[in-house]
Amino acid sequence: MDIKRVVLAYSGGLDTSVILKWLQDTYNCEVVTFTADIGQGEEVEVAREKAKALGVKDEHIFIDDLKEEFVRDYVYPMFRANTIYEGEYLLGTSIARPLISKRQIEIANITNSDAVSHGATGKGNDQVRFELGYLGLNPDIKIIAPWREWDLNSREKLLTYAESHGIQISRDGKKSPYSMDANLLHISYEGGILEDPANEPEEDMWKWSNSPENAPDDAEYIEVSFERGDITKINGIALSPATILAKLNEYGNKHGIGRVDIAENRFVGMKSRGCYETPGGTIMLKAHRAIESITLDKEAAHLKDEIMPRYAKLIYNGFWFSPEREMLQALIDKSQEMVNGVVKMKLYKGNIIVVGRDSANSLFNEEFSTFEEDSVYNQKDAEGFIKLNALRFIIEGHAKKSRKK
């Protein structure tokens, strides 16, 4: 492949620092680095100095704060669908990849680059997510995936390469035994003792939350306000999408909310055991389902529940920019027009307990729902309703009797 300039998704860590140098040497090309701040909680500016030390020009170093765009244009649309993969995973890593790939392609256009590169391995889902994003936005872009080309397939080999090429890698402190990925929605843990699904995670693995046992002994009440399916206020105070998620993370972390330990089916075929902390997202999901419970028509709500697994799989597998995902999104967004109101919740030792919901668009009608005397519902009408729904059973039952004679 003849490559003149490549845009690398760059964190400044061991893997991507080695990749940067490897790209320069292997392809004899210029490298443009792109570092996305999506709320991972790490200092992203250090990536600038590391890139400069490896010969990247100032004008080719991009460090972008994408937190608001991430929550507004990716997390919120996904949560309108109550999206979970295989019943438990809130897709924290999956939903970040299309935004990163989109920005990489934009930077490739700005810098006249003819290729993009990422640090995902050949075993995981992220290689698929990144590359489907690239090709969905620019079908002519060239893609370099070093983990599918080189033989640097261990940490020791990467360290040896770094030392022999003058790449500064900090060895201070104890390296985590886990592979971790973080953004404003979640933090994930894989590898180490987690590779045996029978092993319980060590308590000091968890970075973002109290254990439920150590959470406060007193419950805390919060209210979240929705407009068209998106949270716009916490306790009556209007906040930006990223600020809302960050604030919900604080509540969830404090009260031990959002830990999950799952074995999931990767797109590439094998099962993978992962642990996730998604504190704010877990609260968001509970609250959203609560406000929908009084604002959505029954069949609309059931239809959403039926299509959600398909929508979740599209995001998990990397098809965010596909026409089918966009079609489903249009349906989901249409369903949210009346999903407005306030949900009150009690947070206590890992639990989110919905204690109230209110909406000007509520379909909950006390006159019809009451267990007391009413003047709007004739209970005798239920007899015909039941008989009509049982008609096929009645016909089949008579037919069975006839066959036995």
Neighbours of 305 (CB within 10 A): 12
Cα distance between residue 11 and residue 17, in whole Å = 8
* Catalytic residue of the set 15, 80, 117, 259: 15
Known catalytic residue at 228: no
* Catalytic residue of the set 80, 97, 103, 273: 97
Nearest to 104 by CA among 5, 17, 8: 8
Known catalytic residue at 179: yes
Known catalytic residue at 126: yes
Cα distance between residue 222 and residue 251, in whole Å = 9
Contact by Cβ (8 Å): 233, 246: no
Cα distance between residue 276 and residue 76, in whole Å = 19
Tell me the two tokens of residue 358.
Answer: 């209110």
Rg (CA), the chain: 26
* Catalytic residue of the set 64, 72, 179, 322: 179
In sign, the C-alpha dihedral spanning 193, 170, 44, 108 is: negative
Cα distance between residue 81 and residue 92, in whole Å = 15
CA atoms within 13 A on the CB side of 333: 10
* Catalytic residue of the set 17, 103, 126, 188: 126
Q: What are the backbone angles phi and psi of residue 215, rounded to the nearest 5°?
A: -70, 160
Nearest to 228 by CA among 94, 40, 359, 382: 359
Torsion, Cα 56 59 65 71, to 10 degrees, reads -90
Known catalytic residue at 374: no
Tell me the two tokens of residue 234.
Answer: 């916490």
Contact by Cβ (8 Å): 40, 182: yes
Among all chains, which residue has been given the structure tokens 């596909």? 322
Give the helix/strand (H/E) hosting 342. strand 341-348
Tell me the two tokens of residue 312.
Answer: 């979740």
Alpha carbon separation from 73 to 53, 76, 112, 339, 359 (Å, rounded): 34, 6, 26, 18, 25
Cα distance between residue 242 and residue 179, in whole Å = 25
Q: Which residue intervals of 4-92 are DSSP H helices? A: 14-27, 46-53, 67-70, 76-79
Helices (H) and strands (E) in the chain, counts: 14, 14
Report the catalytic residues.
15, 97, 126, 179
